[in-house]
Amino acid sequence: MAKFQSVRGTHDIVGETAASHQYVVAVARDCAHRYAFSDIDTPIFEFTPVFARSMGEGSDVVRKEMYSFIDRGGEDITLRPEFTAGICRAFISGGMQQDLPLKFFAHGPAFRYERPQKGRLRQFHQIDTEILGVEGPGADIEIIALGAEILHQLGVLDRCVLELNTLGDPDSRQAYRDALVAYFSDHKDRLSEDSVDRLTRNPLRILDSKDVGDRSIVVDAPLMADYLTSAAREFFAAVCEGLDVLGIAYNLNQRLVRGLDYYTHTAFEFVTDALGSQGAVIAGGRYDGLIKMLGGPPTPGIGWAGGIERLAMLAGQAPPPERPIALVPLGAAAERLALGLCHALRRDGFTVDMGFRGNLGRRLKRANKMNARAALILGDDEIAKGIITLRNLDDGSQQDVALDDVATQLQTLA
């Protein structure tokens, strides 16, 4: 008989891991709602061109990492490798132009075929935020502030550093691209094979190369700051000023780039070295040209994504859930009565577990294993008297309580 196990690069989210994931999502959603972001949930698969066009036909993700397939209807489908493209597609196909500006929060799984490593899987999970329809730097400031607030509420902001850069406006970017092509062409014989390939397609990506030889060449490469237009300088200065007003610290990192042409102005990452080698837990940027490239109306946008696995690892164990009440019915008549009592207590807001089998000792042992704060014991004698025994599992004390007064007495427990 076949022995089944999870596919490499995936894992089951259960127990403490599930609690940590849900905690990250709950904190992030609560913060996003306080910033007046609305929830959006796009499909986990789209027509392949949605991602291929948005991420660049020649990018490593598109060429090597996307999970793409032809479905039974002959359609070319891809499991989402990131959220932004699908949200922009939803904006276009849903006719949301009249509702601008829009602020979205999303979370869920994404998929990339890459070598599994700590905090990075083939099926991974992200929180994602996007602001559409705002041209000015106010959107950049707000979305970075939201990321900082989420990290603060998770208790990890002090272990993260905000890296910040500008990619300039389209004129700045083109001038910088030309300068990079000229510079790297002079060193072409020393570049790695991947960087030679990027030289004509995507020269900014060479700045991200992990190749040791490439890194030595990148050290003396031109800097974007030297090619910014005055308008781009003013835009970035306004972003920095806004972060200063909010007291959000940042490091200027002129090597932080985004390779695709639709990216403009602000690029940023919250990075940490608390998980081993330095890595980003939140990364984003402004993508004013993306929606037009996907066939929609020219619409500015900015967003970021955060890895739930990495954020959960950084935040540590989630706060414990509310301790439950164990309902212990003994006998057929008690089980029938307990069904209604359990339902009523849950409607009153209590977390209640009712064991389905076992004697009193086994059920109380289960209650202690669940860290229940109290047990409600109901047998034939209690039914005859119209009471239930409430046992405090912290100090062992117990009392008889009228059946119609159970909820009131439970509220007095610490």
E strands in 141-260: 161-166, 251-252
Which range is least confidently modeled, 47-61, 234-248, 325-339, 353-367?
A: 47-61
Residue of 249 and 173 predicted with greater confidence: 249
H/E segment holding residue 340: helix 332-347
Asked if residue 258 lies in contact with residue 19, where contact means CB atoms within 8 angstroms, the answer is no
Q: Cα–Cα distance between 101 and 266 in angstroms, integer? A: 18
Among candidate residues 366, 365, 340, the one with its CA nearest the CA of residue 353? 366
What percent of the chain clears pLDDT 70, i.e. is strictly above it?
96
pLDDT(59) > 70: no
User: If you average pLDDT over residues 170-190, what whole number do you get?
Assistant: 88
pLDDT averaged over the chain? 90
Among candidate residues 212, 320, 302, the one with its CA nearest the CA of residue 265? 302
Where in the chain are the domains? 15-169+229-315, 325-410
User: If you average pLDDT over residues 141-154, what whole number do you get?
Assistant: 98
User: If you average pLDDT over residues 198-225, what whole number do you get?
Assistant: 85
User: If you average pLDDT over residues 35-51, what whole number do you get?
Assistant: 95
Whole-number pLDDT of residue 360? 78
- Assign domain 15-169+229-315 one CATH number from 3.30.70.2610, 3.30.590.10, 1.10.3720.10, 3.30.930.10: 3.30.930.10
Whole-number pLDDT of residue 31? 97
pLDDT(58) > 60: no
Which homologous superfamily does the CATH classification assign to the domain defined by 325-410?
A: Anticodon-binding domain (3.40.50.800)
Whole-number pLDDT of residue 119? 62
Q: What is the pTM of this model?
A: 0.88
Asked if residue 380 lies in contact with residue 367, where contact means CB atoms within 8 angstroms, the answer is no
What one-letter code names the amino acid at 23? Y
Q: Cα–Cα distance between 236 and 166 in angstroms, integer? A: 6
pLDDT in tens, 90-128: 999 999 999 999 999 999 999 998 877 766 789 999 999
Q: Cα–Cα distance between 248 and 242 in angstroms, integer? A: 9
Residue of 183 and 355 predicted with greater confidence: 183
User: If you average pLDDT over residues 126-154, what whole number do you get?
Assistant: 97
Whole-number pLDDT of residue 414? 60
pLDDT(348) > 80: yes
User: If you average pLDDT over residues 160-176, what whole number do you get?
Assistant: 93
Q: How far is CA 171 from CA 205, 232, 257, 402, in A?
A: 18, 9, 16, 77
Asked if residue 61 lies in contact with residue 110, where contact means CB atoms within 8 angstroms, the answer is no
